Amino acid sequence: MLDPKLLRTELPDVAAKLEIKGFVLDQAKFSELENDRKTWQIEAEKLQNERNVRSKAIGQAKAKGEDVASLLQEVAELGDKKSAADARLSEIQDLIGALTNRIPNIPHESVPAGKDEEDNKEVLTWGEPKQFDFEAKDHVDLGEKDSLLDFEAGIKLSGSRFTVMRGGVAKLHRALIQFMLDVHSNEHGYEEVSVPFLVSPASLYGTGQLPKFEEDSFKISGERELYLIPTAEVPVTNLVRDTILSPEQVPQKMVCHTPCFRSEAGSYGRDTRGLIRQHQFEKVELVQIVKPEDSYAALEELTGHAEAILQKLELPYRKVILCGGDLGFSAAKTYDLEVWLPGQNKYREISSCSNCEDFQARRLQARWRKPGQKKPELVHTINGSGLAVGRTLVAILENYQQADGRVKIPNLLRPYLANEEFIN
RNA sequence: GGAGAGGUGGCCGAGUGGCCGAAGGCGCUCCCCUGCUAAGGGAGUAUACCCUGACCGGUAUCGAGGGUUCGAAUCCCUCCCUCUCCGCCA
């Protein structure tokens, strides 16, 4: 959520900045609602005050044993006017709420203009896309051997976009999770946390998935209203919901492995082959809760931590800064890391690292006590994948494939896999 | 599944119709005292919105939403959540 004060006082400026994101803010409608809100709020509060004054007088008169009949009559006359004003006011407030809840975050000034993926700006590339002296297969073909990637079984059990992994690939998948968690917690200073995979609507609202993106998530049936998490960002960032942190509790750096569930509504036909786009995938997520003045440094740091995994696994990648049009709802600035996939002969997203500034914090009511300042201040929240495990697995299969169809295990992963040299 | 208890400010915890935005304690901030890794005294200390140049002032908020009433933290209804005991189960 944006600062309501900012919306009221600098509406044209806010609207201009949101345009970079491809969001059209109906300024006329907003101002009109705001004006209405103001008049009706003043009216409603005035009437309420009149009633309060009289009610108090009744109490005092009764205490003294005086007659209260005339006062009672005065109050009765206020009734209709007041309930009409109240009704109008809450109607307007609902309309304003419905509008502001769906306004995305304002892009940071360093975010390039642009419409979609095509306009994202490359920041750097690392490593060289591998050249093979044979025809490179994609992970689907590589995984077919011994049904290490069993797409048929996934479909049988659950339908499209679900996959079963077996044997060496299942082990590699597990090894990757542990490797990532170890690097981030041991070398990068993150606290490892384990969280629920089902969350309340309040949690999804806090990080911005609700109310605008209801159709993207899986809601479970049952007496309780719960959703499967689309990313660990939701439960982990919500850890600071409704809390005021003391200065020594900031920054917080947390790493968390969870499965992620996405309905992928609206992406029918995209990436239908292979592991790239699944309804269920696993991810190791990095989250930082920081002081506002530190958040852009934290974004660079966190992105570097995600890059470190790719570098340790010796996977070629590039780093892009998302243009306004490609930026997510809650993000002010996002770096995507894209790993090289020989099977597709292109770079594919494997991590997305965002600074949400105080946008999520305002919805979460997550604040900290800034020394020397009376009011608690909203924190800034940073999150990023470190990394998407399924896609990392794809990258390893495709980048480490041999002419004979076998797949080498990256050096640093071998200790996790009984020091084997190849996946089998 | 059965039976109970409860949700109040940064935290703990009083408060069964008006004098309650809310006692008291803890914590925190400032001041005084004390010459020491301690204690004592005093003052202050919720959030949002409206009004004002500012001060003052106003409105709302005691889990959420409705209701009763001139007036609700307090009474009634519905919902949400937490806890305890029993049963069942990993």
Whose CA is nearest the C1' atom of nucleotide B45?
A: A374
Q: Point out the nucleotide closest to A369 (alpha carbon to C1′).
A: B10
The confidence score (pLDDT) of residue A72 equals: 84
Instruction: Return d(Cα A122, Cα A75) in angstroms, integer.
Output: 68
A48 CB inside 7 Å of strand B: yes
> For tokens 């690939």, what's the residue?
A169
Distance A239 CA to B29 C1' (A): 28
Give catalytic residue positions of A: 262, 277, 349, 352, 391
Q: Write down the pLDDT at residue A65.
A: 76
ipTM, 2 dp: 0.82
Contact between residue A327 and residue A359 where contact means Cβ atoms under 8 Å apart: no
Q: How far apart are CA A257 and CA A389, in angstroms?
A: 9
A224 CB neighbours strand B below 7 A: yes
* Secondary structure in 3-state letters for A108-139: CCCCCCCCCHHHCEEEEEECCCCCCCCCCCCH
Buried b (16+ CB within 10 A) or exposed e, A271-282: eeebbbbbbbbb
Distance in angstroms: CA A45, C1' B61: 15
Give the pLDDT confidence score for residue A149 in this predicted structure. Answer: 96
Which nucleotide minimizes the distance between its C1' and the CA of A365?
B47
Cβ atoms of A149 and A139 within 8 Å: the answer is yes
- CA–CA–CA angle A129, A115, A384 (5° rounding): 55
C-alpha–C-alpha distance, residues A118 and A303, integer Å: 21
Tell me, what's the pLDDT at A284?
98
CB–CB of A197/A283 below 8 Å?
no
Q: Which nucleotide is nearest to A45 (CA to C1')?
A: B59
Q: Which two tokens stand for residue A112?
A: 């390039």
Nucleotides of B under 7 A from a protein CB: 10, 18-19, 46-51, 58-60, 70-71, 80-81
Helical H segments across A167-264, by residue range: 167-182, 201-207, 233-237
Residue A191 to residue A365: CA distance in whole angstroms: 22
Task: Say if pTM beats, i.e. exceeds, 0.80.
Answer: yes
The length of chain A is: 424
| Buried b / exposed e along A240-253 (16+ C-beta atoms within 10 A) | bbebebeeeebbbb
- How many Cβ atoms sit within 10 Å of the Cβ of residue A169? 27
Rg (CA), chain A: 27
Write the DSSP assignment of A262-309 as a string of letters. Answer: ---TT-TTTT-STTSS-SEEEEEEEEEEE-GGGHHHHHHHHHHHHHHH
Q: Measure, in angstroms, how far nucleotide B52 C1' is from residue A40 CA.
A: 19
Compute mean pLDDT per 10 residues along chain A, 424 residues long, and list them: 87 92 91 89 90 88 79 81 83 84 92 94 95 94 92 94 96 98 98 93 90 86 87 94 87 96 87 93 97 95 98 98 95 97 95 96 88 85 96 97 95 97 92
Report helix, strand or coil for A97: helix
